[in-house]
Amino acid sequence: MILARVVGECVATRKHASHEGRKLLLVQPLDLDSRECGQPFLALDAVDAGEGDTVLVVQEGFSAMTAVERPESPIDAAVVGVVDQFTLA
């Protein structure tokens, strides 16, 4: 799983039929100090996240497909949770 921040939405005039009714979010990976790391990427939203939210993202095909209940869909990443807070022990 990847910790990330939603930095925007992607508007697509055409997308795969299995993605209908789902938002595509642009997410920026974060390290455990909430600093940006890596490049932003697109993820299909499964939890109704919004811009500015800190989220958990799965970036593995089968896990992403299962998270959005589309097991035959071409999905590489999915937002599966909104993080309210976290503490490192």
The reported pTM is: 0.84
Band of the pLDDT at 21, cuts 50, 70, 90?
A: confident
Tell me: the pLDDT tens digits for 42-67? 998 989 999 999 999 998 776 766 66
pLDDT confidence of residue 38: 93
Domains of the chain: residue spans and CATH: 2-9+23-82 (2.40.50.220)
Gap between the Cα atoms of 61 and 18, Å rounded: 14
Under a CB-based contact definition with an 8 Å cutoff, are residues 33 and 8 in contact?
no
Q: What is the DSSP string of 51-68?
A: TT-EEEEE-SHHHHHHHT
- In this prediction, residue 3 carries a pLDDT of 96
Q: What's phi and psi for 61, nearest 5 deg? A: -45, -60
Contacts of residue 4, defined as CB under 8 A and 6 or more positions apart, other chains included, come to 27, 28, 29, 30, 43, 54, 55, 56, 57, 79
Percent of the chain with pLDDT over 70: 84
